[in-house]
């Protein structure tokens, strides 16, 4: 099982905690963009050649590499389909999101 990223919402209680610049405030950790998805990528690992192209191309860093295998992080994957398009082994398929 892939490790879930820590998705705790950050709330500052005093101005002292606020960084100087808008920087890694954690907004993207609590903003679980996985709910935006209406199609989902599924990886057929039996055909995967472990090239890492899906990991590199995913604009949302939602392909995690666990023990050298690609795993989709569905908490954040928006279902854009870029990984499926780029996979040279054509082993990622986009399927209708289950209701």
Chain residues in the site for other proteins (CB under 8 A) = 11-12, 15, 18-25, 27-28, 31
Please give the angle made by the CA atoms of 72, 9 and 40, to the nearest 5 degrees.
Answer: 20
Least gap, CB of 9 to other proteins (angstroms): 9
If contact means CB under 5 to 8 A according to the sort of partner, which of ligand SF4, other proteins, none does residue 11 touch?
Answer: other proteins
User: Which residues have a Cβ under 8 Å from the Cβ of 15 and sit 6 or more positions away?
Assistant: none
Query: Taking the alpha carbons of 69, 58, 76, 93 in that order, is the dihedral positive or negative?
Result: negative
User: Does residue number 71 form part of the binding site for ligand SF4 (CB under 6 A)?
Assistant: no
If contact means CB under 5 to 8 A according to the sort of partner, which of ligand SF4, other proteins, none does residue 92 touch?
Answer: ligand SF4
């Amino acid at each position: 099982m892939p490790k879930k990223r820590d998705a705790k919402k950050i709330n500052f209680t005093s101005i002292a905690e606020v960084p100087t610049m808008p920087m890694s405030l954690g907004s993207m950790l609590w903003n679980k963009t996985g709910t935006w998805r209406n199609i989902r990528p599924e990886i057929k690992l039996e055909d995967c050649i472990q090239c890492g192209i899906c990991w590199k191309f995913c604009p949302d860093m939602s392909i995690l590499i666990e023990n050298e295998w690609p795993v989709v992080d569905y908490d954040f994957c928006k279902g854009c389909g870029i990984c499926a398009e780029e996979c040279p082994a054509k082993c990622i398929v986009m399927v209708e999101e289950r209701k």
